[in-house]
Chain A
Amino acid sequence: MNKFYHTLKTIFLLGWSIFVVFPFLWALSTSFKDANAITSGATYIPWVDFEPSTQGWTSLFTTGSRGINIIGPFIDSAAVTLIASLVSLILGTLAAYGLSRFEYRLGFVKNADITFFFISQRIMPPIVLAIPFFLMLKELGALDTIFGLVLVYVALLLPIAVWVMTDFFAGIPKELDEMAMTDGCTPIGAFFRVILPNSVPGLVVAGMFCLIFGWNDFFFAFTLTFTETQLLPVSIVSLNSSVTPWWSLSAFALISVAPLALVAVVVERYMSRGTMSGAIR
């Protein structure tokens, strides 16, 4: 029975893996095709079905009519995403710790309401925010700059960080803080020296969310930038012309997915390890 279950599981997982990996394989093979190999029906095996060409990849690093240079947008995207994620994570973690450990009262507003206020920022569809953000950045003179995008992304990512970290801190027993304080830490010291080292899994999850949302955002990158600053999702769209360059698009898609995939591989072990188990009980 157990063996049967094991076999069934293996078959299912294999099937699922193919399902997940296939689009990437398809993009990979497409990125090496030329126009002929794409338009004349489905082709699969390089050198047999079609003659591989590096045109898709080289076009991403040349400027002019034959392609675009994506190095600039890549750096812009990385800068905006990393800075915004880092700022959101720092502010969000501090806010979440405060909300999970201390009682606040502003009139009738209590901790739960403040947490909800943060999360409520994500209730409305992003398009509602487009015009206000545009006007605000215009006033600041921050349109079409990395600074302006970071500002907007922090506003969008902070709720996620606060949400994830509040939940995570709620799961850390209060006794750990109290222990640290009887051991001689100030409340701030307890946070930095005891709680934060224990929060790595939570920080990793929150950081992952921030990176994914920040890296993949198209809408604000599109509405708040013009020529000076361009992020990857926007430049991928600008590739589109009368003839869709499928080879370049595929190569581009793979390049823009790569950083997140790399991050996922690196942090995966932190997410599954559950470092908290054993701090109490």
Chain B
Amino acid sequence: MAKIVLENLGHSYLPNPKGEHDFALKPVNLTWQDGKTYALLGPSGCGKTTMLNIISGLVPPSHGRLLFDDQDVTKVPTSARNIAQVFQFPVIYSTKTVRQNLAFPLECRGMAPAKIKQRVAEVATLLDLDYALDMPARKLSADQKQLISLGRGLVREDVSAILLDEPLTVIDPQMKFMLRRKLREINRQTGMTMILVTHDQSEAMSFADEIVVMKDGLLQQSGTPEELFSRPQNDFVGYFIGSPPMNMITLEPNLGLLCTAALNLTKPLPLESNATVYQMGIRPEHIVMAAKETNSIGMGKIIKIEHLGVDGIVTLELPTGVVIKAKTRKHTEMNVGNTMGISVCDEDALLYIDGTLSSSSR
């Protein structure tokens, strides 16, 4: 187990990267603390897997350094790195039994057979795979195969971190939930650092102590799920985290204030700013609707109501034609065509200047 530090680490698959866009992973500084669970979140092709493969050593980075517990491991080969990796599709040694699969990493390291037997038994118990130990691994279901992959990481006591590259993609929704809980449980029991790559925000939010959001090879924000939700650092994070995404309402500078005709909300215009786009970001969850106009900052007509069980998503059209979404539990009392009064706490309305959260909103 170790603290993992990415020091100005970047990677380009091209031999001579010219500009920013030639990088699959733009140089980044990040620290993964020992024993925590992390999620690496972003759309497909954003460099998540590249970052993971650099940590595991499958891809040598073109720039920067990688440190495990302050030791430079940038050039250390995969086999000597003590990293376990679980891939998107269950990768198992199909000619071996479950027991042989779990024992393989220890055999590779030349551990004594008695010790191997003991470790395999321990891990099998942890993963509830005892009953399957002597079955051919290829006979197991997809989620059990993923458990084997995970188990091959867990049998090694010296593993620095377990990297999970979208391991739940091929798993049935019900099993997904179980596996995710299992992962958390294992993290708590063993104190093993886990890094989960995913493009599913709910997976990331429910799994990780800390989430790292990436886009186009560039780190967007890293923080706890609460931080990402309530204080997205830029419009992409606001859009990517949360469902439905954050409402972005364009503001116009006017007499030292930023305001919009749609809502009665203003923000002070930052001094000496030469930005071109000012936006107000409001989470759908933070919009309160009432039938009466009192205390409201604007009016909106309901044009659509989507039922999601307990919650509902209400789509409102503001007088200027701007469309926003609100998440509420009172959607059953509302009807399409109703006009609602809208109110938002001032601290929940965040100011974005050219797509980046303004320092006054932080």
Contacts and interface: CB of A to CB of B under 8 A. Distances in A.
Do chains A and B stick together as partners?
A: yes
Interface of A: 173, 175-176, 178-186, 189, 193-194, 197-198, 200, 275-281
Contact of B87 (A175, A189, A193, A197): A175
A72 B65 CA distance: 66
B107 to A, nearest CB: 9
Q: Which of B56, B57, B90, B108 has the most CB of A within 10 A?
A: B108
Contacts of B91: 173, 175-176, 178-179, 279-280
Interface stretch (B92-100, B190-198, B244-252, B275-283): B92-100
Given A182-B85, A198-B95, A277 B108 contact: no
Given A275-B95, A281-B89, A183 B138 contact: no
B67 to A, nearest CB: 19
A200 B95 CA distance: 10
Interface residues of B, number: 32
B85 A184 contact: no
A185 B95 contact: no
B149 A184 contact: no
Contacts of B108: 183-185, 189, 193
Interface of B: 56-58, 77-79, 81, 83-85, 87, 89-96, 104-105, 108-109, 137-139, 142, 149, 152-153, 156, 170
B79 A181 contact: yes
Q: Which 10 A-B pairs have the closest CB atoms?
A: A278-B138, A184-B108, A279-B94, A183-B105, A181-B78, A197-B95, A175-B91, A175-B87, A182-B85, A179-B91
Nearest to B96: A197
Contact of A279 (B78, B138, B142): B138
A178 B78 contact: yes
B114 to A, nearest CB: 19
A125 to B, nearest CB: 41
A208 B177 CA distance: 47
Contact of A185 (B79, B84, B94, B170): B79
Nearest to B159: A182
Contacts of A185: 79, 108
A184 B153 CA distance: 10
A175 B93 CA distance: 11
Contacts of B58: 178, 181-182
Contacts of A200: 95
Contacts of B84: 182-183
B105 A278 contact: no
A181 B81 CA distance: 10
15 contacts: A178-B91, A179-B149, A181-B79, A182-B56, A185-B108, A189-B79, A193-B108, A194-B93, A197-B95, A197-B96, A200-B95, A278-B137, A279-B94, A280-B91, A281-B170
B83 A182 contact: yes
Nearest to A199: B95
A122 B170 CA distance: 43
Given A182-B56, A184-B108, A281 B90 contact: yes
Given A179-B87, A181-B58, A181-B79, A277 B95 contact: no
